[in-house]
Amino acid sequence: MSKLYIIGIGPGVKEQMTFRAKEALDECDTIIGYKTYVRLIEDSVQGKEIVSLGMTEEVQRAQKAVAMALEGKTVGLISGGDAGIYGMAGLAFEVLKERGETQLPVEVVPGVSALNAAASLLGAPMNHDFASISLSDLLTDWETIEKRIRAAGEADFIIALYNPKSGKRTWQIEKTREILLQCRPGSTPVGIVKAAYREKQEVIVTDLKNMLAHEIGMLSTVVVGNLSTYVSNGKMITPRGYGKKYTLGPGAGGEDV
C-alpha cells in the first residue's frame, strides 16, 4: 500500500524507540535512511528492502522515499532522534510540496530527541523554559545562529546545543561559549552527553568556564544551564520553583507530590 512513514527512531538502542515506531517499521516493506541509523535498528528491519545512503545524501533520501511510496510501497524514511527536530520530516514535506503531491498518506512518528536523551542522563537540567540551537552553519548562516545564541542567553533560557562541533567546524562552540559568558557566570553548569543510549555513551557535568577542556564532537549534545541550574550529587538540576513555594525536606508532607 502506498504510504510514507517518517520515523524518529530515538537516540540509539531499540529500548528507547517508541512502540509506534517499532510498529511502523514492521508495516514497512522498504526502509530508507542514513547508514548508521539503519544499523542501529538492524534487527527490526530483517528481510525488508533497505536503501541506506550516506550522510550528505539527505535530499536524495527524501526524494527516493517519496518516489518509492508513490510507486505503491510502504516506505519508512528514518531519522535519528525525532524526525522533526533537525531531521528528515521537513525535507520530505518539502519534496512532496515541490512535486505538488497531496494524495500520498504520510505519517510522522515522533521519537525521543537528543535533548530528551541528554537531559535524562544529566538529571533534570531542562525542567524550565529552554531553547534548542544547532551550531551547524552549513544550512544556516552564522550571523543568524549567533543572534539566537545571544537572545537565548539574555533571556536566561536553558540551551541545548545540537551539532556543537565536527572535524571541520571547530570554532563555533568556542564562540558560543564566549557569547554565553557575557550573560552567565563561568560557574554555570554545562552537561556534555556523547552517544546517548549507545555503546560509547559518555556523560560529563562541567561548567561554562571549563567546558572546552572536555571532548565535544559530532555525537555530542551540550546542555547549558540557566541562572538557577545547580549540580547536586553529580546531577544537573534546574528547579521549577517548587522550593520557593513549598518545603521539600522530609516531614514537610510533600513526599507524595
Residue type, 21: A
Q: DSSP 3-state assignment of 56?
A: coil
> Which position among 30, 74, 127, 163 is part of the footprint of ligand SAH (CB under 6 A)?
163
Cβ atoms of 157 and 223 within 8 Å: the answer is no
Determine, following the binding rule CB under 6 A, whether residue 130 of this chain makes contact with ligand SAH: no
Name the residue whose CB lies closest to ligand SAH: 81
Shortest spacing between CB 36 and ligand SAH, in angstroms:
10
> Which position among 4, 32, 85, 173 is part of the footprint of ligand SAH (CB under 6 A)?
85
Which helix H or strand E contains 224, and what residues bound it? strand 220-224
* CA neighbor of 189 nearest in space, from 202, 180, 201: 180
Nearer to ligand SAH, 132 or 238 (CB): 132
Determine, following the binding rule CB under 6 A, whether residue 125 of this chain makes contact with ligand SAH: no
Determine, following the binding rule CB under 6 A, whether residue 221 of this chain makes contact with ligand SAH: yes
> Which position among 5, 34, 86, 157 is part of the footprint of ligand SAH (CB under 6 A)?
86
Binding segment toward ligand SAH, per CB under 6 A, in 23-31, 37-45, 144-152, 190-198: 190-198
Cβ atoms of 170 and 184 within 8 Å: the answer is no
Shortest spacing between CB 89 and ligand SAH, in angstroms:
9
Residues 13-52 as b or e (16 or more Cβ within 10 Å = b): ebebbbeebeebbeebebbbbbeebbebbeebbeeeeebb
Nearer to ligand SAH, 180 or 195 (CB): 195
Cβ atoms of 122 and 204 within 8 Å: the answer is no
Binding segment toward ligand SAH, per CB under 6 A, in 26-34, 75-83, 99-107, 179-187: 75-83
Binding segment toward ligand SAH, per CB under 6 A, in 32-40, 46-54, 85-93, 240-248: 85-93
Shortest spacing between CB 205 and ligand SAH, in angstroms:
15
Which grid cell is 90? Answer: 521537513
Q: How far is CA 219 from CA 30, 131, 230, 251, 256, in A?
A: 27, 19, 25, 43, 38
Instruction: State the residues that interact with ligand SAH by CB under 6 A.
Output: 11-12, 79-82, 85-87, 113-114, 117-118, 162-164, 193, 195-198, 218-221
